[in-house]
Amino acid sequence: MCENCGCGATGEDTIGISAGHESREHGHEHEHGHDHAHEHGPGAHHGHSHEATHSHAHSPEAADSDPSLAEARRTVEVRRAILDKNDRLAERNRGFFRARGLLVLNVLSAPGSGKTAFLRETVRALAPQLKAGVIVGDLATDNDAQRLRETGAPVVQITTGTVCHLEARMVARAVSQLDLAGLGLLLIENVGNLVCPAAYDLGEDLRVVLLSVTEGEDKPLKYPPMFQAADIVVTSKIDLAEACGYDRDLALSNLRRIASRARVFETSARTGLGMDQWRSFLLAQCAERKTRDPLGPE
């Protein structure tokens, strides 16, 4: 279930993970056992200081048999972030990725901004020097996975059913299906959606948000949380800029307002425009990661 839009069923059974061959998933062992911070906040004690009541309060039977407790309206402090569980799993993913020296990108955009084509060309451009794997999320079909497999890269498709975003645990399961041998880069193509995926950390190093020139220059103003969370913004389909009257200055100035810290790349997956710069950037990031990360590969 998405915290933002309330979409989707909660059942894990709606999530499909496919590496293109018959596979068995692992990794929901951490569904339980994360509920350690059961601190009883100050509110559980204040104003109800009779110890007898409190000491019985842990058991439902006690509550039933103690009329004074049953009637007492009281406050329980919780103060726990709702995304806590996802954030913890995302940190696990991050640790796993770091230990393997993988650079991980979470690639987000509206549906139809060109994520798949962009990633396909990214994989191709890097192929001689850097091997990339892809995890791709969609509500249904493995069409994107098939398009990406044309590159020869290992691809795992996550079908989310009715869930509008990827979560850290889905990525953990998908990674267990991916052949990581020799991979230096993991590209995660999120579900096409500019709203909910912004709230879910997957354990990535960099968030890449695509904005195609056909979408309108004000997209960053309409969906600020997504663009604010971006480390990199890629303006895609730049070959169509003229045809659709794209106002580059306006788009860049809107991006600077919302995503002031993001690096911007202007690309066309179709003509290859701008892909060289993007490729150099990724190679530099991977090299930097290997030298600086003590947990990186030998």
Partner 1 sequence: MQDALSLALDHARQAGARQVLVIRLRVGALSGVVPDALQFAFEALAPGTLAEKAELAIEPVPARFWCAECRGEFASDDLFAECPGCHRPSGELRAGRELEVASLEIE
Q: Which residues bind partner 1 (CB under 8 A)?
A: 1, 3-6, 10, 35, 38, 40-41, 43-44, 56-60, 62-64, 69-85, 195-196, 198-199, 221, 224-226, 228, 256-262
**Nearest approach, Cβ of residue 39 and partner 1 (Å):** 10
Burial category of 175 from C-beta neighbours within 10 Å (exposed 0-12, middle 13-18, buried 19 and up): buried
Phi-psi region of 197 (alpha: psi -120 to 50; beta: other; left: phi over 0): alpha
Question: CB-wise, 155 or 258, nearer to partner 1?
Answer: 258
Question: CB-wise, 15 or 156, nearer to partner 1?
Answer: 15
Question: CB-wise, 83 or 206, nearer to partner 1?
Answer: 83
CA gap 298, 294 in Å, rounded: 9
**Nearest approach, Cβ of residue 225 and partner 1 (Å):** 4
**Nearest approach, Cβ of residue 201 and partner 1 (Å):** 12
Question: CB-wise, 10 or 291, nearer to partner 1?
Answer: 10
Phi, psi (rounded to 5 degrees) for 273: -60, 130
Burial category of 152 from C-beta neighbours within 10 Å (exposed 0-12, middle 13-18, buried 19 and up): exposed
Task: Please say whether the beta carbons of 209 and 113 come within 8 A.
Answer: no
**Nearest approach, Cβ of residue 261 and partner 1 (Å):** 5
Question: CB-wise, 253 or 271, nearer to partner 1?
Answer: 253
CA gap 237, 272 in Å, rounded: 10
SS3 (DSSP) at 233 = strand
Question: CB-wise, 17 or 226, nearer to partner 1?
Answer: 226
CA gap 133, 181 in Å, rounded: 10
Question: CB-wise, 48 or 94, nearer to partner 1?
Answer: 48
CA gap 158, 170 in Å, rounded: 8
**Nearest approach, Cβ of residue 85 and partner 1 (Å):** 6
Q: Which residues of 13-42 are buried (b: 16+ CB within 10 A; e: fewer)?
A: eebebbbeeeeebebeeeeeeeeeeeeeee
**Nearest approach, Cβ of residue 41 and partner 1 (Å):** 7
**Nearest approach, Cβ of residue 56 and partner 1 (Å):** 7
